[in-house]
Amino acid sequence: MSAAVQLSRRDRMMLHCVPLREEHVDDRALRTAIHHARKTEVLAIQQNFDKAAAGLVQAIPIPKEIVEWVPTETFIAPARRPWKRYAQNPALLATGIAVLVIAIVGVIQLVDRLNRFPGEATARRLLTTASSNKSMMLDPVKTEAGALGDFLFMKHRLVHYDVPAEFADLKTLGCRVFDDEEGQRVAQVWLVEKKMQLFMFPAERDVKTGAVKHFEGWRYLDQDRWTGVVKEESGVCFMAAVRGSEKDLAPYISKKKE
Amino acid sequence: MAEEQKQDLLQLYRFCFLMLADAAKAQEIFHATLREAAQLAADGEAPRDRLWFFRNARWRCLEVSEQGLQPEDVDLEQDELAEWAPSQIEKLEPQQLAVWISGAPEPQRTALALFYLNEFSHRDLLSVTELKPNELSKLLCNGRREFQAWLDAAVPAEQP
């Protein structure tokens, strides 16, 4: 009994639960307690007591009706394989990785497709133009960008070439109208703020019907460190382009103006 | 059916017997439990493990025992486990042990019945009894000491 005094409180607590069969010890704390108390008299007495009681339980006679009634089929559902075992299977692991890669590529393509919009090809070409132009190539026009709609209509007969309200208050440095490589009339405006450039060009049309391909809201695109944000209205696309990223343009289009 | 599973079902009857100390009632609950398992299996919802049988039988036993006479809620005497306890236990009939266990209050009754079936791991015991380790420990400790005190009174042994 003296050895028991050295046992911790937790060990003493766990020792009361020590099963008779070693394979039933499935708890770390219990295993530790048994290890600490393996040579103590108190554990030996308890185990002898339990063996005798368990032996008496096994002596409970089983009625004939029970033995005969025990069914021949099992009612227990087959054990499910834990997911860890599946994960360790090389074939399943390889398949899982392949599926994951395909899924990632699919998601990237889907996102890319969702970001596409009619007139994107023209917008990209104009981003290249923006990155290679200097302000001195444009005719000097110092006014508010919003006032250029009338100027473009009056001087160049360009209908609906209007600057959206989000950019209408910005001061301009210059402006020009030119034909791009597809013969479309493009208006280009240079702004004071952030050396931003605005482009207005005809929206893409259906080849067969000639109908304008509309799209809703603002669409971003970027190319060679230049970022543009495009919107279509009344058959004309407007693009604001700046050297930088989306976050340089986001503040302008996030403020809703009448 | 595997021999192991057949053995489990025989132990299920012994469990019912320890809980009730009544062979007829134990048999009735054994059959009811198996019928429910068969019904579930037929519906494609077979029990997931053998513990289901003991949990199910336990609640049936508790339900049945609530209908009969209830043991008085008294603090039983306790004695230290004696070295000669095995020789005292050997003199008992299984029915006497079942009567003693079935008279214990819940959840001590279930804990003792399952523990002395010698079929379950520590975690299984905690799972079926729905007890915490310290609770199970206390119930088993007190159960042994109370049983020792009863043994000393009912089967006095000649001390070496």
Could you list the residue range(s) of the whole structural domain that residue B52 is in? 3-67
Last residue of a domain, one of B12, B34, B67: B67
Q: Which residues pair with A144 in a beta bridge?
A: A171
Give this complex's ipTM.
0.89
Same domain (yes/no): B148, B89: yes
Same domain (yes/no): B61, B121: no
Q: Confidence band (pLDDT; 50, 70, 90) for A6?
A: confident
pLDDT, tens only, A8-62: 888 888 989 999 888 888 888 888 888 888 888 888 999 999 999 999 999 999 8
Q: How far apart are CA A232 and CA A213, in angstroms?
A: 9
Q: Confidence band (pLDDT; 50, 70, 90) for B56?
A: very high
Same domain (yes/no): B57, B24: yes
Q: pTM, whole model, 2 decimals?
A: 0.57
Chain A partners within 8 Å of B52 (Cβ): 76
pLDDT, tens only, A124-159: 999 998 888 776 678 888 899 999 999 899 988 999
pLDDT, tens only, A115-130: 788 989 899 999 998 8
Q: How far apart are CA B31 and CA B57, in angstroms?
A: 10
pLDDT at A164 over 90: yes
Q: What is chain A's mean pLDDT, rounded? A: 86
pLDDT at B26 over 80: yes
Nearest CA in chain A to B96: A56
If one counts the domains in chain B, the total is 2
Q: Which residues of A sit within 8 Å Cβ distance of B?
A: 13-14, 16-17, 19-21, 23-27, 29-30, 45-46, 48-63, 65-67, 69-77, 79
Instruction: Give the closest residue to A193 by CA, choosing from A254, A131, A240.
Output: A240
Same domain (yes/no): B14, B63: yes
Identify the pLDDT of residue A135.
Answer: 62
Query: A111 vs B101, which has greater pLDDT?
Result: B101
Q: How far apart are CA A207 and CA A118, in angstroms?
A: 12
Contact predicate A28/B133, CB 8 Å: no
Task: Say yes or no: B41 contacts chain A, CB-CB below 8 A.
Answer: yes
Last residue of a domain, one of B19, B36, B67: B67
Q: How far apart are CA B106 and CA B104, in angstroms?
A: 7
Same domain (yes/no): B62, B112: no
Identify the pLDDT of residue B9.
Answer: 85
Identify the pLDDT of residue A138.
Answer: 80
